[in-house]
Chain A
Amino acid sequence: MAVAVDNLNNKPTQPVSSTLRFAFGNVLAFVILLLIGVLAFSIRLFSVIKYESVIHEFDPYFNYRVTQFLTKNGIYDFWNWFDDRTWYPLGRVIGGTVYPGLTLTAGTIWKVLQSLNIPLSVETVCVFTAPVFSAFASWAAYLLTKEVKGTGAGLTAAVLLAMVPSYISRSVAGSYDNEAVAIFALIFTFYLYVKTLNTGSLFYATLNSIAYFYMVCSWGGYTFIINLIPMHVLLCIVTGRYSSRLYIAYAPLVVLGTLLAALVPVVGFNAVMTSEHFASFLVFIVIHVVALAYYIKGILSPKMFKVAATLVVSVGLVVCCAVVAVLVAVVASSPTKGWSGRSLSLLDPTYASKYIPIIASVSEHQPPTWPSYFMDLNVLAFLVPAGIIACFSPLSDASSFVILYLVMSVYFSGVMVRLMLVLAPAACIMSGIALSEAFDVFTRSIKYYITNLSESLQIDAGDTVPGNNAAPQIDVLKNDKKEDSLKERPSRKNKKKEKEIEKPSVKSKTEKKPLVLPVEASFFALFLTVLLGGFYVVHSVWAAAEAYSAPSIVLTSHSHDGLHVFDDFREAYAWLSHNTEVDDKVASWWDYGYQTTAMANRTVIVDNNTWNNTHIATVGTAMSSPEKAAWEIFNSLDVKYVLVVFGGLVGYPSDDINKFLWMVRIGGGVFPHIKEPDYLRDGQYRIDSQATPTMLNSLMYKLSYFRFVETDGGKGYDRVRRTEIGKKHFKLTRFEEVFTTHHWMVRIYKVKPQKNRIRGKTKKSKSKTSSATPRSGTIKKNPWH
């Protein structure tokens, strides 16, 4: 749409000197970009306006906590931070296991604002980091698309990216997550790569490595870049497009980029050791061989070259075989073939569900459904093919890169719904190109028609009505118009004037007559395109306002008597933070770990950084065990409070009972005495009277439904499962309810302290434990005993 405005605004301008018009075009583009930035920022503010300025969901709370630590203690303490408030008793080395890009970015912004005496809290800065960076991302998309297809396409792509729902879902105000800055870094790295490819300038190549470094700092998705760019280089070499520009675009990136990436603690030597980076080094070797071949070809006569080639190829093949054999042996010796679990699940979509239940249990790691493509991309999904076609006419290095990017990201988005985010920019760029080309054709057709019309009128006037008084006037009019159109030409030239030298040479070969459509068709098509754009805008605004702006820690529901707010999570966390001892340990399922440490400032056993499967399995085992066994596990872990999320009273579906099977699965994966079938009745998961006794006696069931039956006069109707609960009246012996929130969504229990020993009872308990020992001897029941 930006193009349409652009063209329209250009037409009525007065014929003035060309420099002024040049400036005008630039200023117009600048203003449009500025407006796109404002749009990208403001469309993400729905969450603040509808809810409040608050950090969303789970991971952002961790990032927020790290940022707070950074701003309070400085960068060196941050690098050396060993966090003893999570993964008790193991702790976690935060400085070495976190991607620091986002935190450092927000911390720097905060520092700068502080030094300017602008008193914004760290929280505010964190909340608004994502919208600010999405504005940057749309500008980066403009730059990238401009490199590929010119300013018009760039502006269109930028405006599409500014409001693509997929990206909005990850970058609304408050969604303080790595992806928020990483998408900007991703697009910007691609832009600099394409820019280097177009100019062959070492300056841009160096900038490109720095942008890549920023990306490595920000997100684990950097491996996408370091695999995509080598693939493109390989593509260029295979299709005979090797040039010195390609070499300059690639070689410095690998050398500098890898060195810089190794500086990030969380990557470290992974930058050279893991298979994710292997492709880049392989292509690095290939490009050098090719460069050498080209060089030798240049200095040798063709005949000599042939001889040399056969010699080198035969020797080279032997060496290569040896190297490949060694590599294969090394790679095969590692159990995961040198790939990390998440990467493997990308290559083999069924890998996670087979081997890593923790990865599989996260909803955003599931493959997307078809409607989610429509939800997240909307009309872009239909425009992308047109964009691909536009990229092929003509195919340049840059446009082939964009096509490759699109194809790869389509594949990855098909594996994991969360990688839809990587697809979104590619789809926007493609659709931007498509829309811009379409507008180009339609407006050109209309313009052509108008000039033709005036010419034919002129001829008619001149030929058929000689001697008519009115004719000269018409002539004058037409002449003026014609002069206008003549003088308009320099402006368009100036606007598109770019300092690339290479592009025209490619273009000149494929230059052909412009496509002109019939005027009615182009008017109609123009109308339809605008309508399509309109649909997209409406959908995006709806998605931003309704679908993606809920912060998930505050829930609202509209009932007949107005808005109802469910603020139970924060109620529970506030209670924990104010009314328990600072060093008390809180056990909950790992989903709530980050929030507990950030909001309640209490030590947790497991959290959303699921690095230790055994530890999570221990908690899962405790939750699925009967009360006594669970109490023993929790006691051995020093746990003081157990927190469960329960939605049965108000109908909140993502509660712990619904996640319970994952606890069983993950727990059973490490401690085999927990068996999934014990919790299922005929393969069905149920909590009503048909449920298995193991299920009804599990700690999770008891903690969730403790005294629940009294709320509705003896029925115990669970509003999420839509059934009456199976076991209604029971007592807790080793746990004590200490807090339940207003809507019962969070329930906190205290683990009762060990009972005093009574003389008479010791014998009895001894005999009991002795009978239990043989079992616990054979089966690993509790890792802490």
Chain B
Amino acid sequence: MCKYGFDLLVVMVLVFAVYFGPVRSDLVISKLDRRIDLTSQIVRVTLTLKVENTGLDPVSEVSLTFPEHQANNLALLVAISTEGRGKTRGAATNLPIKIKQPDDSPPLLIWYAASLPKELNKGESLNMDVLAVFTHMLQLFPEKITQAESQLFLFQDSAHFTSPYNVKIQSVTVKLPSERVEAYTKLENTKFSGSEIKYGPYESLPAFSYSPVVIHFPSDKPFVVAKELVREIEISHWGNVQVTEHYNIIHGGAQSTGEFSRLDFQARPHVRGASAVRNLIAMLPPRAHSIYYRDAIGNISTSNIYADSSKTLLEIEPRYPMFGGWKTSFTIGYGLPLQDCLFQLGGTRFLNITFGSPMNDVLIENLTLKVVLPEGSRDVSVSVPFSVKQSQETTFSHLDIAGRPTVVVEKVNVVPEHNQYFQVHYKFNNLSLLTEPLMLIVGIFSLFVACIIYMHADFTISKSSASYLAKLQWDEVQGTIQQLQVIINRCLSIHDKLEASLRELSRTGDVQACKAVRKSADSLLKDLSKESKSLLATLQSSPQAAHILPKVEELVVKENDLQEKIMLKHTMVVDSYEKKSGGRDMESRVSSIQQKISVLKQEVDDLIEFIEDI
């Protein structure tokens, strides 16, 4: 109610101003039509006016004035001038608007000057369309309601447009969200029909005339206000533009007091909880992919996606239905194909993407927009169709070294009308794409190289320490044993050859060849046994081999034994062939030797296996 009193003060001052304020130039508004749309939390005022120059001097700008309490909440002001009328209506021109406060202005009035495309000469007239979008204009009354009540609002304005010019004829139409209205100021020429209240037409009003009206009406519209929205747009030249939006939302309607009964809400949702926020709909660009919806404690499962070729609709429900004054925060994110948003123009590339939130009817009090460009981008510039606060910073992400240039754009009171395309221009060399993969390759390669060096280099600090010497000796022992094994294996293969020659003998009966084989084998075996002896000697000298020596010695002895037995067998068989003696006799003798041979073979095999295991 305090604000209400303040408004009264404004009115008094304005009325005062009517008599003492200056009359601006010689412009006259011959017709003014004002439509005020109160259907949502964002108040949209559309002015259609016809301006006439009755003075002598040509006029280059038209002033629009709003009371200060309205101007503070002005989110957007657009003026469009059109030439001609009706069917001959010409092309519309967007007029640049700036604040231009004259020194002799009545207090609490803010002036906006729209400069005309061409000067308006005497007697000429101009049609103008003005759209003014206000936020926080609706006053809660009462401020607190229970679950069963519906929220009521007060709207205050003047039935007369506070213009610095004389107005010949004007009217104002207020559109309400429903046909119900609690109370409204009744002036002359007031008409209430349907969901519209019409004041006027009023004729020949002087400049700065003011006639306060108050409308008290119910509205069940959820007043979704994003206290803060941080949009991060990250460009990856590998083919993706990632958009992440962090919302901090409050239901800006009448505060809910008393108890919240889920039962009532579930049983009669449109009576108990009519103004609750149940869901939000975000219109994402077509081909949006990898969409997620979560908050600080995890995924929120209540969301739906409806996609077609022209758009992607994301319907999200907050974790709980939001009543007046309830808050929540969440994050939505999605990826867009690169070619949909990024374009090339000469040497520069530019990102073309919408500015505001993709959600309808959300008022954003503080919007921070961050565009993260790829590492190595240069010459960054931003073009936004309205005034914003700009700055630059550097973001570090995914193995960056120099960081990614980031454009930060901030704006307060963002309404859906701000959801226009904006551009970020920058230069980028495609080769920079390869930095990170190359870095990884080099990193992993050097890791392997380091491993190889570590495996092959000797990092012993003290070359004379006991353990190091022991290790060296042990390596030596192992080497010797390996050599010994090679020798024994060769011996075994010679044995096999001898056996093979015997089989050959049985087949062909060529005694001489067989003898030759034996001779060569004999000499080879002798050489080998010499070698093995020298190796054994080194093993015996080494203390490290003490525990394994007996086995190795046993092996050598067994092998020698085996060698002898095989030689014996060989000689016997060859002899028997030479003498052509009876097979039976030979066979019995050979078989006894053969038995011993197989036993020895098994033992040798076992020993080899055991030594291998060390």
Task: Tell me if A764 counts as interface (CB < 8 A to partner B).
Answer: no
Which residues of chain A are near B614, meaning CB under 8 Å? 493, 497, 504
Task: Tell me if A610 counts as interface (CB < 8 A to partner B).
Answer: no
**Which residue on chain B has the smallest CB distance to residue A54?**
B298
Task: Tell me if B493 counts as interface (CB < 8 A to partner A).
Answer: yes
Q: Are B298 and A707 in contact (CB under 8 A)?
A: no
- Once A117-B400, A486-B489 are accepted as A-B contacts, the answer to whether A740 and B260 lie under 8 Å apart by CB is yes
Q: A186 to B493, alpha carbons, bound, how many Å? A: 51
A490 contact from B482, B493, B610, Cβ within 8 A: B482
Q: A388 to B417, alpha carbons, bound, how many Å? A: 77
Which residues of chain B are near A571, meaning CB under 8 Å? 319-320
Which of A421-429, A505-513, A613-621, A622-630 contacts its partner? A505-513
Which residues of chain A are near B568, meaning CB under 8 Å? none
Q: Are A467 and B507 in contact (CB under 8 A)?
A: yes
Which residues of chain B are near A467, meaning CB under 8 Å? 507
Q: Are A740 and B261 in contact (CB under 8 A)?
A: yes
Q: Are B259 and A492 in contact (CB under 8 A)?
A: no
Which residues of chain A are near B118, meaning CB under 8 Å? none
Which residues of chain A are near B260, meaning CB under 8 Å? 737-740
Which residues of chain A are near B492, meaning CB under 8 Å? 486
Q: A718 to B330, alpha carbons, bound, how many Å? A: 34
Task: Tell me if A315 counts as interface (CB < 8 A to partner B).
Answer: no
**Which residue on chain B has the smallest CB distance to residue A579?**
B326
Q: Are A482 and B399 in contact (CB under 8 A)?
A: no
Q: Are A740 and B398 in contact (CB under 8 A)?
A: no
Task: Tell me if A520 counts as interface (CB < 8 A to partner B).
Answer: no
B493 contact from A119, A483, A511, Cβ within 8 A: A483
Q: Are A482 and B297 in contact (CB under 8 A)?
A: no
Q: A696 to B482, alpha carbons, bound, how many Å? A: 86
A52 contact from B258, B298, B302, Cβ within 8 A: B298
Q: Are B261 and A707 in contact (CB under 8 A)?
A: yes
**Which residue on chain B has the smallest CB distance to residue A567?**
B301
Task: Tell me if A736 counts as interface (CB < 8 A to partner B).
Answer: yes
Which residues of chain A are near B259, meaning CB under 8 Å? 736-738, 750
Which residues of chain B are near A483, meaning CB under 8 Å? 493
Q: Are A118 and B399 in contact (CB under 8 A)?
A: yes
User: How distant is B324 from chain A, measured CB to nearest CB, in Å?
Assistant: 11
Q: Are A466 and B506 in contact (CB under 8 A)?
A: yes
User: How distant is A526 from chain B, measured CB to nearest CB, in Å?
Assistant: 21
Q: Are B398 and A117 in contact (CB under 8 A)?
A: yes
Q: Are B329 and A570 in contact (CB under 8 A)?
A: no
Task: Tell me if A462 counts as interface (CB < 8 A to partner B).
Answer: yes
Task: Tell me if B465 counts as interface (CB < 8 A to partner A).
Answer: no
Which residues of chain A are near B378, meaning CB under 8 Å? none
- Once A117-B400, A493-B613 are accepted as A-B contacts, the answer to whether A504 and B548 lie under 8 Å apart by CB is yes
- Chain B: interface size category: 35 or more
Q: What mask results when residues 735 to 765 of chain A are scored 1 for a CB within 8 Å of chain B, else 0?
A: 0111111101000001000000000000000
- Once A117-B399, A466-B506, A486-B493 are accepted as A-B contacts, the answer to whether A737 and B610 lie under 8 Å apart by CB is no
- Once A117-B399, A492-B612, A578-B326 are accepted as A-B contacts, the answer to whether A741 and B297 lie under 8 Å apart by CB is no
Which residues of chain B are near A681, meaning CB under 8 Å? none
Q: A599 to B319, alpha carbons, bound, how many Å? A: 13
Task: Tell me if B328 counts as interface (CB < 8 A to partner A).
Answer: yes
User: How distant is B1 from chain A, measured CB to nearest CB, in Å?
Assistant: 25
Q: A475 to B503, alpha carbons, bound, how many Å? A: 10
Q: Are B496 and A567 in contact (CB under 8 A)?
A: no
Q: Are A567 and B474 in contact (CB under 8 A)?
A: no
Task: Tell me if A496 counts as interface (CB < 8 A to partner B).
Answer: yes
Task: Tell me if B462 counts as interface (CB < 8 A to partner A).
Answer: no
Task: Tell me if A471 counts as interface (CB < 8 A to partner B).
Answer: yes
Q: What mask results when residues 591 to 613 of chain B are scored 1 for a CB within 8 Å of chain A, else 0?
A: 00000000000000010111111
Q: A164 to B302, alpha carbons, bound, how many Å? A: 35
Q: Are B612 and A490 in contact (CB under 8 A)?
A: yes
Q: A150 to B427, alpha carbons, bound, how many Å? A: 60
**Which residue on chain A has the smallest CB distance to residue B330?**
A574
Number of chain A residues close to chain B: CB under 8 A: 57
Which residues of chain B are near A501, meaning CB under 8 Å? 474, 547
- Which residues in window 400-433 of B have CB below 8 A to A? 400-401
Q: Are A575 and B320 in contact (CB under 8 A)?
A: yes
Q: Are A116 and B299 in contact (CB under 8 A)?
A: no
Q: Are B613 and A119 in contact (CB under 8 A)?
A: no
**Which residue on chain A has the smallest CB distance to residue B478?**
A497
Q: Are B474 and A490 in contact (CB under 8 A)?
A: no
Which residues of chain B are near A770, meaning CB under 8 Å? none
**Which residue on chain A has the smallest CB distance to residue B400?**
A117
Q: What mask results when residues 679 to 718 of chain A are scored 1 for a CB within 8 Å of chain B, else 0?
A: 0000000000000000000000000000100110000000
Which residues of chain A are near B326, meaning CB under 8 Å? 575, 578-579
Which residues of chain B are near A18, meaning CB under 8 Å? 482
Q: A453 to B259, alpha carbons, bound, how many Å? A: 89
**Which residue on chain B has the smallest CB distance to residue A496?**
B613
Task: Tell me if B397 counts as interface (CB < 8 A to partner A).
Answer: yes
**Which residue on chain A has the smallest CB distance to residue B328?**
A578
Q: What mask results when residues 319 to 358 of chain B are scored 1 for a CB within 8 Å of chain A, else 0?
A: 1100001111100000000000000000000000000000
Q: A310 to B500, alpha carbons, bound, how many Å? A: 71
- Once A117-B400, A462-B503, A739-B260 are accepted as A-B contacts, the answer to whether A570 and B297 lie under 8 Å apart by CB is yes
Q: Are A490 and B485 in contact (CB under 8 A)?
A: yes
Which residues of chain B are near A641, meaning CB under 8 Å? none
- Once A467-B507, A508-B547, A579-B326 are accepted as A-B contacts, the answer to whether A737 and B399 lie under 8 Å apart by CB is no
Q: Are B295 and A574 in contact (CB under 8 A)?
A: yes
Which residues of chain A are near B329, meaning CB under 8 Å? 578
Task: Tell me if A489 counts as interface (CB < 8 A to partner B).
Answer: yes
Q: Are A575 and B613 in contact (CB under 8 A)?
A: no
Which of A508, A565, A573 has the largest count of B CB atoms less than 10 A from its CB? A508
Q: Are B297 and A599 in contact (CB under 8 A)?
A: yes
Q: What mask results when residues 286 to 326 of chain B are scored 1 for a CB within 8 Å of chain A, else 0?
A: 00000000010111111000000000000000011000011
Sample of 13 more A-B contacts, CB < 8 Å, known A466-B507, A486-B489, A573-B297: A53-B298, A482-B496, A486-B493, A489-B489, A489-B612, A490-B482, A504-B614, A508-B547, A574-B328, A579-B327, A710-B263, A736-B259, A740-B263
The 10 closest A-B pairs by CB, nearest first: A493-B612, A740-B262, A462-B503, A54-B298, A578-B327, A52-B299, A565-B301, A574-B319, A571-B319, A466-B507
Please name 30 pairs of A and B residues whose Cβ atoms are closer than 8 Å in the assembled complex, sorted by A: A116-B399, A117-B398, A117-B399, A117-B400, A119-B398, A462-B506, A471-B507, A475-B500, A475-B503, A482-B496, A486-B492, A489-B609, A490-B485, A493-B485, A501-B547, A504-B548, A504-B614, A508-B551, A553-B298, A567-B301, A570-B298, A571-B319, A571-B320, A578-B326, A578-B328, A579-B326, A579-B327, A736-B258, A737-B261, A740-B262
